[in-house]
Amino acid sequence: MSDSGFSPVLIVVWIIVAIVLIVANWKIFTKAGKPGWAILVPIYNIIVMLQIIDKPVWWIFMLIFVPIANIVFAIMIIYNLVLKFGQPGWHVILALLFGFVYYPYLAFSKASYQG
């Protein structure tokens, strides 16, 4: 029997984290007045996120096609999202380092969208 390198436990943990992040982002979208289901549609979910943070849609090209710049733009998106929900700027560090915990926190906290 060949070993694929992935343990069943790791796969289950990955699936649980993915589901939690989908639910959290769904809630973040609905808090911002956007349809939650949009998080499930590739590319469109990025467009909706850009609408939530009031940034131009052309940013999507920077995120998809420009190496290195995509990292900078992703950080700027997280920064703007944190601010749009009235959180202090240092929360960006939490969101970057612990997104799997911060996004559910943002989704289910009393933080409201200030668009």
Q: Is residue 45 part of a domain?
A: yes
Is 113 domain-assigned?
Answer: no
Count up the domains in the chain and report the number: 1
**Which tokens sit at 115?**
């668009």
**Angle (deg, nearest 10), helices 8-31 and 44-52:** 50
> Is the CB of residue 113 less than 8 Å from the CB of residue 84?
yes
- pTM (two decimals): 0.88
**pLDDT for the residue 109:** 94
Give me the chain's average pLDDT, please. Answer: 93
Residue 86 lies in a domain: yes
pLDDT of 1 above 80: no
Question: Is residue 39 in a domain?
Answer: yes
Q: Is the pLDDT reported for residue 98 higher than 60?
A: yes
Q: Is residue 1 part of a domain?
A: no
Q: Which domain holds residue 44?
A: 8-108
Q: Is residue 60 part of a domain?
A: yes
Quick one: what percent of the chain has pLDDT higher than 70?
Answer: 96
**What are 6-59's pLDDT values in tens digits?**
788 899 999 999 999 999 999 999 999 999 999 999 999 999 999 999 999 999
In a domain, 13, yes or no: yes
Say if 74 falls within a structural domain.
yes
Name the percent of the chain lying above pLDDT 90.
88
Report the pLDDT value the prediction gives residue 55, as an integer from 0 to 100. 97
The pLDDT tens digits for 55-82 are 999 999 999 999 999 999 999 999 999 9
Q: Is the pLDDT of residue 3 over 70?
A: no
Nearest CA to 33 out of 10, 20, 7, 51 is that of 51
